[in-house]
Amino acid sequence: MYTQGLDGQVPDTAAHTDEATLEQRFLARVDAEEKIEPKDWMPVRYRNTLIRQISQHAHSEIVGMLPEGNWITRAPTLKRKAILIAKVQDEGGHGAYLYSAAETLGVSRDQLVEQLLSGKAKYSSIFNYPTPTWADVGAIGWLVDGAAIMNQIPLCRCSYGPYARAMVRVCREESFHQRQGYDLMLQLARGSEAQKRMAQEALNRWWWPALMMFGPSDANSTHTGDSQRWKIKRFSNDELRQKFVDFTVPQAKFLGLAVPDPELRWDEHRQQYEFGPIDWSEFDQVLKGNGPCNAERIAARRNAHAAGAWVREAASAYAAKRRQPSANIAA
């Protein structure tokens, strides 16, 4: 509607309109909370920022299938197995529609996948941590999906229409995942001593990496300024992290688990939790490829891609034959 309106204006004014005017008009639309759609004019930097962010998000969903997929064959009840398969499948689905959203910006999924496999593109560092026990599956659902929701709910109002719409759907499913993960943890926390230990150790493993999911603290965040101006990002990393801590600490208490932060305390005056310093050197190392599972995660994606090459080739060969039935008959 407003998009079509703008499209209609473009032919008569475009010739006389310079970049600055277009950008002004773009920013006015963003300020007015209008959605920017694929065919609309947008600054190159806006487009590139979105491509980077959406594709990283898509890659994260795909790589994120691996740590939890690790437990599909070992899930301890058939119901939990079904829930886990469905969850991992959902993550793949999120990847698929995020790739589609990125494609509206003029890149192809193949290009993006190539960037993931070559190591050029990043994905969320959280998935470079291992899932040694069943409790890690619960901790991921509870904490990682929980943190993802905090990050993504504001993205449902992102200025770029296709991304915002994808996020609405994704968030709905992520909140299921978060509840299922918490339920898994609750079962462990109310279980045997061995199960409680398993749950506590998983919380110890995932707590700090989950806090790192929100990215560097605001003082050191490079992309925040433009993203906030363009209404891609609505809250700062630190604001979102604080929200997550305030939301999650009471849940840990309810589970009877200890958050592995000796400095954690309730600040009565600010009405929020104060927490200890994050070890950003660990974050930097994982980002550089030195996390516990970076190599395995990329290797798993590369292996799947390489082992599936003959399948994809066969599918295109078959499709090509169907497109030219007469050529086949003639030959």
Partner 1 sequence: MNAKLPNVDAQALFHYVLRLGDLSLILGQRLGEWVGHAPALEEDLGVANIALDLIGQARLLLSYAGEIEGCGRDEDKLAYLREQGGYFNAILAEQPNGDFGQTIVRQVLIDAFQLELYERMTGSLDERLASIAAKSVKEVRYHLRYSSGWLVRLGDGTEESHARVQSALNTLWPYTVELFAEDDLDQLMADSGIAPRLSAVHAAWSARLEGILADSTLLRPADRPHLWHGKRGQHSEHLGYILAEMQYLQRAYPEACW
Q: How far, in Å, are 3, 12, 226, 232, 247 from residue 25 at the CA level?
A: 12, 15, 16, 17, 39
Q: Which of 93, 154, 161, 276 is in the footprint of partner 1 by CB under 8 A?
A: 93
Q: Which of 29, 59, 80, 94 is in the footprint of Fe ion by CB under 5 A?
A: 94
Q: Using CB distances below 5 to 8 A depending on partner kind, what does residue 145 bind out of partner 1, Fe ion, none? A: Fe ion
Identify which of residues 44 and 311 has a Cβ nearer to partner 1 in the complex.
Answer: 311
Residue closest to 154 by CA, chosen among 143, 137, 170: 170
Residue 20 makes CB contacts below 8 A (sequence gap 6+) with none
Q: Using CB distances below 5 to 8 A depending on partner kind, what does residue 69 bind out of Fe ion, partner 1, none? A: partner 1
Q: Which of 25, 47, 81, 122 is in the footprint of partner 1 by CB under 8 A?
A: 81
Q: Is the distance from CB of 88 to CB of 68 less than 8 angstroms?
A: yes
3-class SS shares of the chain: helix, strand, coil, % to 5: 75, 0, 25
Q: Which of 6, 29, 51, 95 is in the footprint of partner 1 by CB under 8 A?
A: 95
Quickly list DSSP for 191-216: S-HHHHHHHHHHHHHHHHHHHHTT-S
Identify which of residues 23 and 183 has a Cβ nearer to Fe ion in the complex.
Answer: 183
What is the Cα–Cα distance from 141 to 91, expressed in whole angstroms? 11
Strand residues in the chain grouped as ranges (E) = 265-267, 272-274
Identify which of residues 63 and 147 has a Cβ nearer to partner 1 in the complex.
Answer: 63
What is the torsion angle, in degrees rounded to the nearest 10, for the CA atoms of residue 73, residue 75, residue 78 and residue 84?
A: -90
Identify which of residues 22 and 85 has a Cβ nearer to partner 1 in the complex.
Answer: 85
CB of 68 to partner 1, least distance (A): 9
CB of 46 to partner 1, least distance (A): 27
Give, as ranges, the residues between 153 and 192 that touch partner 1 (CB under 8 A).
187, 191-192
Q: Which of 59, 177, 233, 241 is in the footprint of Fe ion by CB under 5 A?
A: 177
Q: Which of 14, 28, 295, 314 is in the footprint of partner 1 by CB under 8 A?
A: 314
- Tell me which residues touch partner 1 (CB under 8 A): 62, 65-66, 69, 72-74, 76-82, 85-86, 88-89, 92-93, 95-96, 99, 134, 187, 191-192, 194-195, 300, 303-304, 307-315, 317-319, 321
